[in-house]
Amino acid sequence: MGDGLADLIVQDVVKRFGRVTALDGMSFEVREGEFYCLLGPSSAGKTTMLRAISGLEQLDGGRILFGGRDMAAAPIQGRGIAMIFQTFALYPHLTVRANFAYPLERAGVPAQEIRTRVGEVAELLRVGHTLDRLPSTLSGGEQQRVAIGRALVRRPQLLLLDEPLTNLDAKLRHDTRAEFKRLHRELGMTMLYATPDQLEALTMGQRVGVMQAGRVVQVDTPRSLYAAPQDTYVAGMVGSPAINLVPGTIRRRDGGFAVDLPFGTLPADAWRIHLSGGEPVLFGVRPHDVLLGHHPTRGPGFTATVHLTEPLGDVTLLDLDVNGAAMKMALPEERALGLGPGTPIEVTLSAADVHLFHAETGVRIA
Q: Print the SS3 string covering the chain.
A: CCCCCEEEEEEEEEEEECCEEEEEEEEEEEECCCEEEEECCCCCCHHHHHHHHHCCCCCCEEEEEECCEECCCCCHHHCCEEEECCCCCCCCCCCHHHHHHHHHHHCCCCHHHHHHHHHHHHHHCCCHHHCCCCHHHCCHHHHHHHHHHHHHCCCCCEEEEECCCCCCCHHHHHHHHHHHHHHHHHHCCEEEEEECCHHHHHHHCCEEEEEECCEEEEEECHHHHHHCCCEHHHHHHCCCCCCEEEEEEEEEECCEEEEEECCEEEECHHHHHHCCCCCEEEEEECHHHEEECCCCCCCCEEEEEEEEEEEECCEEEEEEEECCEEEEEEEEHHHHCCCCCCCEEEEEECHHHCEEEECCCCEEEC
**Does residue 1 form part of some domain?**
no
Q: How confident is the model at residue 1 (pLDDT cuts 50, 70, 90)?
A: very low
Considering the domain architecture, whether residues 133 and 185 belong to the same structural domain is answered as yes
Considering the domain architecture, whether residues 185 and 287 belong to the same structural domain is answered as no
**Does residue 100 form part of some domain?**
yes
Considering the domain architecture, whether residues 66 and 101 belong to the same structural domain is answered as yes
**Does residue 319 form part of some domain?**
yes
Q: Which residues of 232-266 are buried (b: 16+ CB within 10 A; e: fewer)?
A: bbbbebbbbeebbbbebbbeeeeeebbbbbebbeb
State residue 145's pLDDT score.
Answer: 86
Q: How far apart are CA 46 and CA 67, in angstroms?
A: 21
Considering the domain architecture, whether residues 254 and 282 belong to the same structural domain is answered as yes
pLDDT in tens, 40-55: 998 899 999 999 998 8
Considering the domain architecture, whether residues 227 and 258 belong to the same structural domain is answered as no
Considering the domain architecture, whether residues 210 and 257 belong to the same structural domain is answered as no
Considering the domain architecture, whether residues 20 and 78 belong to the same structural domain is answered as yes
Q: How confident is the model at residue 284 (pLDDT cuts 50, 70, 90)?
A: very high
Structural domain including 105 reads 6-231
**Does residue 346 form part of some domain?**
yes
Q: Which residues of 116-132 are buried (b: 16+ CB within 10 A; e: fewer)?
A: ebbeebbebbebeebbe
Q: How far apart are CA 115 and CA 117, in angstroms?
A: 6
Q: What is the mean pLDDT of residues 260-267?
A: 89
Considering the domain architecture, whether residues 252 and 210 belong to the same structural domain is answered as no
State residue 15's pLDDT score.
Answer: 96
Distant-in-sequence, close-in-space partners of 45: CB < 8 Å, separation ≥ 6: 15, 22, 23, 24, 26, 211, 213, 214
pLDDT in tens, 310-357: 998 899 999 999 988 899 999 999 998 889 999 999 999 988 899 999
Q: What is the mean pLDDT of residues 281-301?
A: 92
Phi, psi (degrees; rounded to nearest 5) at 176: -75, -30
Last residue of a domain, which of 200, 231, 262? 231
Burial of 360 (C-beta count, 10 Å sphere; 0-12/13-18/19+):
exposed
Considering the domain architecture, whether residues 172 and 61 belong to the same structural domain is answered as yes
**Does residue 122 form part of some domain?**
yes
Q: Are strands 256-261 and 244-253 parallel, antiparallel or unpaired?
A: antiparallel
The yes-or-no verdict on residue 74 having pLDDT over 80 is no
One-letter identity of residue 282 = L
Taking the CA atoms of 93, 89, 136 and 118 in sequence, report the sign of the dihedral they define.
positive
Considering the domain architecture, whether residues 74 and 187 belong to the same structural domain is answered as yes
Considering the domain architecture, whether residues 224 and 261 belong to the same structural domain is answered as no
pTM of structure: 0.89
Considering the domain architecture, whether residues 204 and 351 belong to the same structural domain is answered as no
**Does residue 236 form part of some domain?**
no
Output the domain CATH number for residue 282. 2.40.50.100
**Does residue 239 form part of some domain?**
no
Output the domain CATH number for residue 60. 3.40.50.300
Cα atoms found within 13 Å of the Cα of residue 333, Cβ hemisphere only: 5
**Does residue 238 form part of some domain?**
no
State residue 4's pLDDT score.
Answer: 55
Among 25-39, 62-76, 120-134, whose mean pLDDT is lowest? 62-76
Last residue of a domain, which of 231, 259, 276? 231
Last residue of a domain, which of 207, 231, 255? 231
State residue 204's pLDDT score.
Answer: 94
Q: Are 271 and 257 in contact (CB under 8 A)?
A: yes
* 42 vs 217 pLDDT, higher one: 217
Mean of pLDDT over the chain: 90
Q: Are 319 and 307 in contact (CB under 8 A)?
A: yes
Q: How confident is the model at residue 277 (pLDDT cuts 50, 70, 90)?
A: confident
Looking at the structure of the chain, the number of domains it has is: 2
Q: What is the mean pLDDT of residues 242-268?
A: 90
pLDDT in tens, 119-175: 998 988 888 999 999 999 998 888 888 988 888 888 888 999 998 887 778 887 888
Q: What is the mean pLDDT of residues 204-209?
A: 96
